Each structure stands twice: as C-alpha cells, then as structure tokens.
Amino acid sequence: MKTQELRDRAVALHRSGRLGEAEQLYLDVLAGAPRDFTARHLLGVVRAQQGRREEALAEIGAALAIRPDDAEALLNQANVFKSLGRAAEALAGFGRALALRPGWPQALNNRGTVLQSLGRFDEALADYDAALAAGPNAEALNNRGSVLQDMKRPAEALAAYDQALRLAPGFAIAFNNRGSVLLELNRHADALACFDRALALKPGDAELHNNRGNALQGLLRHDEAVAAYDRALALRPDYAEALNNRGSALQQLKRHQEALDSFDRAGLPQAFGGAAMAALNLCDWDRVAKFAAQMESRVTAGEPIPPWVLLGYSGDAMLQRRCARNVIRSRFAILPPPLATARYTHDRIRLAYISSDFGHHPVTAQMTQLIEMHDRAGFEIIGLSTGSDDGSPQRKRIAGAFDRFHDLQQQPPPDAARFIRDLEVDILVDLNGHTKGDNFDILAHRPAPVQATWLGYAGTSAAPFIDHIIADRIVAADAAAFSENIIALPGCFFPTDSGRAIGTAPSRAEAGLPQTGFVFCSFNNNWKITAAVFATWLRLLARVEGSVLWLKHAGDAAAANLRAAARGHGVDPARLVFARPAALEVHLARHRLADLFLDTLPYNAHATACDALWAGLPVLTLAGRAYAGRVAASMLTAMGVPELVTETMQDYEAMALTLARDPARLAALRARLDPAAAPLFDTQHFARDLEAAYRGMLT
C-alpha cells in the first residue's frame, strides 16, 4: 500500500477512535518515510490521547522540527504541555499558534484554561470572550462560566452555563458546573436537578454523585447525601473529597464514629476539624489528645480550622482569635466594596437581626421574648432569616415578633446584602458568628453602616467588617482577644425568656434515678466533657457515697466510652445515668430532681446553665480565660450567687464536695436562686440596657 493510502487509512481509523490500529499505521508510514510530517504529528496526537504524554511531546516536537510553523501542531503540543502542568510552555505554545492564526477560538479557549489555572482570571475571561467573538461555542461558554465563578460573579456564571446548555443540551460538564454555581447561590433544589440531569448523561461519574450529595446536604436530606457519597466512593474508593463530605453528613446525623472513620480515610487537611469534632462528640479522649497535640501548631501555621472546634479544645483566647482570623483571611482575601458607606437619619433606629437559626434552636429560645419587648417607639425591629423554615412553633413565634421578617435563604449573598442595604438598616446584628450557616458572605459586603456580632458564637469574629461585639465585663475580660469594639452590657450579656413554663417533674424512678442519693447533673452536650473534667466528676462519685452522675444521653458510642472511663477509675458505670430527650417543659422540670449542676471547661454551659438556673438548680462553674469558658460565671453573678464561680480545678472539686456533704448550705444556696427576682431573667430591663448600647453605637 502506498504511503498516501496508508496515511489516509490511519487518519480514518484515528477519527473513528480506533487508536491502536491508527498508531500502527502511522508507524508503518514513518518506517518508509521518517520525515512524513502528518504521520509524525498525528502519532503524537494518538499517544497524547492514550495518556502517553512524554512520548506525545517527542513525536509532536519531531513533527515541528520538520514544519516549525504549523499552527495545528503547535496547538497540540501546547495542549500536551497543559496536561502535564507545564503552564509556561503551554502558554508560549498557544501564543505561537495564535500568532500564526489570530483569533483562533480553540487556541484562545485552551489558553484561557491555563490562565485560569494560574489564577489570572481577568486574562482568562478575555481569552474566552475573544473565542466567543468568532461565534457561539459551548465549551468556551462553559469555561467562561467557570472563571466567572472563580471571580465570585455567580449570576453571570449561571448565565454563561445556561447559554452553553442551550447550544449543547447534552453537555454533562456544563450541567455539573451549573449545579455547582447554584449551590453557591443557595438554590439547592435547582442544583440537585442539575446534577440529576448530568448523571442521566454520565451515570458513572463519581464527581457528579459527590456534588449531588452536597446539594442534598444543603436541603438537609443528610441520609440521602450519605447514600450519594457512598455511590461516589463505590466508583472511586479513594475519593478524598467525597469521604470528607460524607463525614460532614454523618456528623449531622450524629453518627459520629462513622464520621470519624470517614474523615480519617479522607486524609485531607480540611478533614482535621471534622475529625477533631467527632472525637469530642464520642468522648474518645485518646483521639482527642492526639488532635489536641496538633491543634495549636496548625492554628499558628495559619490553617483554617473551624473556630467552633477549637473552643472545645482550648481556652486560650488569643489562639481562638488567631483561629478565627485564619478562617476569615482564607475566605476573604479581597473584600467586596462596602454597600453602606454613610449612616442614615431615621425617626426610629432600624435594627436588624440576621441568623440562620430562627427556628427550633437555642438562639431563638433565648431571643424571642427580647424581640417582643423591644421599644417600638425608638426602634423598628427587622428579622433576616438565612436558614431553613423548619415549620416549628418557635419559628412562627419569632417571625411574628419582628416588625418585618424576611426569609433570605434562597438569595445568594450579594443579593441578600443588596436587599439589606435597600432596607436602610442602621444596625445589623449577626447572631451566628463562626457557627454552621454563618452569614459572613453577606456581612462582608457591609450592607449596614454599623455591624455587630452577638450570642451565637462565644468568641471574636476576627472579621474586619464587624464593628462591635455585644458582651459583658466577665465574658470579655481580655480585650486583646477581640478584633471588635467590646460593647459591655451592665449585667449578663445573655438574653433569656422569663415566660417559659416548667411542667411537672417526673419521679426519680421515671427519670431513671435511684430513690435516694445525691444527684450530680450536667446536661451539657457531651462534646464539652473533657477527660480532666470527667475525672474530677468520677472522684466526686467515689467520695460521695450513693451519688450518681446524671448526663444528657450521649449516643451509644459516647455512652460506652464514658462508662469505660468510669470503670477505669474504679467507679461502677451504673452510677452514670443518661437522660433521654424530653419536651422542654418536662426537661426543665426534671432539673428539680438533681442536687447540683456541674459545669464543663474550656466550654461552659450556656443555654443549659440558663435552663438549670431557671428551674432553680444551683450551677457550679469553673471560670476559664476565654469567653466560652466564662459564660456561666456571668450568669451566676447576675443570679447573685458568685460563690458558685471557682477559679481552679481544685477549688471546683472542693466546692462540689462541700455542697454534696453539707445539705444545709446547698439548700440555702438553692433558696437564693429566685428566677422571678434575678436580673438574669428580667427581660424588660435587659431590653432597655441593650437598646442603650445600640444608641451608643450610633453616636
């Protein structure tokens, strides 16, 4: 067969995807004609398609030695450089190809992808736009959407993906990318539909199953999210991102051991925080100790560990500030221009509270009566919800308490910020801080001239766009630990609801308690229980005959670990009693079966201490150095029983033992806990103090 015929046959096989046969025919051509440019060039292309990139470079380089100014060969060589991550050589190659063929859409598009990978987003966008100037091009439109996402322009990215899909309705990658931008825009149901469309086209794509899981997490369908991640992992068992996401979904389902295992398998730096939190929830103190040994060095090195996790590990206030700063810096390398640049002059102060937790959540329980009692003559009170409507009575009540209530959950952060700006809010108070569902992406746009943080997170935001933190002199004892201006209320910073009903207490038998004996109690979440605190509690059980320790039900794995710890300290595990979930009125009432509430450190009881004090149960606390460890001290001071605040673990243990052995002294303390007369539960007075603080922010 003549050389021309062999070459034509090879090209036909190549076009039909029969790469091995095409390769052999190209070699046959070159055996007789070593300087055949077409065969040498296309042999390189075949080897690139087979993943044999270095061999591909050698063949295409040899072809270019024969014909140095062939634009197609230069383009293909640059594509191989790109696939090898040799960006500088790829850019040079695309530049040479474009010099020979100006305005070539394929070369412009491919060069744009390299520029995008280097973070040169403006240049990449210019290349995609130049490629599109030659005519509609689904691939360039998809890439344009991708770089617009990188540039934090999600609405424009969505429009580009929509254009790409109109041109190519079967473009699975564009459906995937469209779904990812919809996730950024908080349109989780629409994102799920996109991923489902993409999976119909590419059912074996692990990334699509992972992204589908992310959409399901956004819809709070965590069981289904785990199933989606499992499908991704069945396709790609070492898929680290899916393992990390799976761990997050399992955390939400309180399947903490499985979550820890998933985070461990992920092995990603971003899995560290989730794994550390899972270990706390499990009371797996061997693992906690290993995480604790790394925590400070990771934070000091600038790693963005979730600040909420650090609060369970460390009471170092300055380390907490650095941790929060790391997260803010990682998320906001460049801040958007502020939307509110001047203050307003309204007849009434427009005060807005923003939260993702307006529903069945402690923040709502603490805030609602305050919202109802705000002075409407001086303030217009606006609620801004960024979380799901859970349909709970608590959601209905707090929504009705505001003068205006807006559900912003479905709005992307820039749109939500502009909406708030258009409301002309004078003071915007964030109730999340560094907690799940935070509002920093909105607050970073500075939609209000004065922005404050309060209540949801017990520490500094370290955000330059937050002006004030509402606290008190006890919790904010170390001013250096806060990036914000501290607004110290005259009493405790913690709002309460003095209208909560307390039901009828169950019997001790119904509560699972013995008929006699001293009842130490701690209804804190088990992730707050440290090995040192628990060892102290076990020493108290050993020294107070017949006593029991009454804890919130911790989940089977954590309960087993706590029982094992008790056994290891020579304490009968049966002396640990776990309280099952109960309706709020019943839960408040059953506090009256306990004798003394024992607090935790480095993270105190907050809402749980408030519950205990409202029910008349004495709380013994150990004051830490940082905000999260000083909340109970603030509450007890406001209740008029500061002697229940201890400063060292030795004093804490000694006071607990004294009260357990001195019924008269404990009874006298209990008699002084009169919620009806205590400043802590005077919501009307609290509202006036808080309003004075707000007025001070505007002067």
What kind of architecture, by CATH, is found in domain 519-681?
Answer: 3-Layer(aba) Sandwich (3.40)
- The answer to whether 538 and 566 have CB atoms below 8 angstroms apart is yes
Given 3-state DSSP classes, what are the helix, strand and coil percentages for the chain, each rounded to the nearest 5? 60, 10, 35
Q: Give me the mean pLDDT over the 20-30 stretch.
A: 87
Give the separation between CA 563 and CA 572, rounded to whole angstroms. Answer: 8
Number of residues that make up the chain: 699
Burial of 676 (0-12, 13-18, 19+ CB in 10 A): exposed
- The answer to whether 652 and 620 have CB atoms below 8 angstroms apart is yes
- The answer to whether 615 and 593 have CB atoms below 8 angstroms apart is no
Provide CATH 3.40.50.2000 ranges for the chain: 519-681
- Is the sign of the CA dihedral 285, 286, 288, 292 positive or negative? positive
pLDDT number for residue 29? 82
pLDDT number for residue 402? 98
Per cent of the chain over pLDDT 90 is: 92
Q: Report the candidate in 16, 42, 37, 35 with the shortest Cα–Cα distance to residue 25.
A: 42
Residue 619: helix, strand or coil by DSSP?
Answer: strand
Q: Report the candidate in 285, 218, 226 with the shortest Cα–Cα distance to residue 253.
A: 226
pLDDT in tens, 150-187: 998 888 999 999 999 999 999 999 999 999 999 988 89
Q: Which residues pair with 519 in a beta bridge?
A: 548
Give the separation between CA 658 and CA 547, rounded to whole angstroms. Answer: 14
CATH class of 349-489: alpha beta
Helix (H) or strand (E) holding 38: helix 37-49
Judge: domain 1-63, CATH 1.10.3720.10.
no
Q: Which residue type occupies 146?
A: S
CB atoms within 10 A of CB 157: 26
Question: Side by side, which strands form the sheet with 619-622?
Answer: 576-579, 548-552, 519-522, 596-598, 619-622, 645-646
Spatial CB neighbours of 135, under 8 Å, sequence gap ≥ 6: 105
Q: Which residues pair with 615 in a beta bridge?
A: none
Q: Give me the mean pLDDT over the 669-689 stretch.
A: 95
pLDDT in tens, 548-605: 999 999 889 999 999 999 999 999 999 999 999 999 999 999 999 999 999 999 999 9
Give the separation between CA 474 and CA 30, rounded to whole angstroms. Answer: 84
Q: Give me the mean pLDDT over the 420-434 stretch.
A: 98
Q: pTM for the complete prediction?
A: 0.90
Q: Give me the mean pLDDT over the 428-434 stretch.
A: 98
pLDDT number for residue 1? 56
DSSP for 661-693 reads H-HHHHHHHHHH--TTT-GGG-HHHHHHHHHHH
- The answer to whether 644 and 605 have CB atoms below 8 angstroms apart is no
pLDDT number for residue 693? 98
Helix (H) or strand (E) holding 61: helix 53-66
pLDDT-based confidence at 536, cuts 50/70/90?
very high
Tell me the longest C-alpha to C-alpha distance in the chain: 111
Q: Judge if the upstream peptide bond of residue 338 is cis by omega within 30 degrees of 0.
A: no
pLDDT in tens, 296-327: 999 999 999 999 999 999 999 999 999 999 99
pLDDT in tens, 368-422: 999 999 999 999 999 999 998 999 999 999 999 999 999 999 888 989 999 999 9
pLDDT tops 90 at residue 6:
no
Q: What is the phi-psi region of residue 458: left when phi exceeds 0, alpha when psi lies from -120 to 50, beta otherwise?
A: beta
Spatial CB neighbours of 173, under 8 Å, sequence gap ≥ 6: 142, 198
Radius of gyration of the chain (CA): 31
Provide CATH 1.25.40.10 ranges for the chain: 1-63
Q: Give me the mean pLDDT over the 105-131 stretch.
A: 96
Q: What are the CB-based long-range contacts (under 8 Å, 24+) for 402-410?
A: 402/353, 402/371, 403/376, 404/380, 406/382, 408/384, 408/442, 409/186, 409/356, 409/385, 410/186, 410/187
Q: Give me the mean pLDDT over the 517-539 stretch.
A: 97
pLDDT in tens, 329-365: 999 988 999 999 999 999 999 999 999 999 999 999 9
Q: Give me the mean pLDDT over the 62-84 stretch.
A: 94
Q: Report the candidate in 647, 662, 556 with the shortest Cα–Cα distance to residue 599.
A: 647
Provide CATH 3.40.50.11380 ranges for the chain: 349-489
- The answer to whether 492 and 636 have CB atoms below 8 angstroms apart is no
Q: Give me the mean pLDDT over the 436-449 stretch.
A: 97
Angle 172-184/188-201 helices, nearest 10 degrees? 170
Give the separation between CA 429 and CA 264, rounded to whole angstroms. Answer: 37
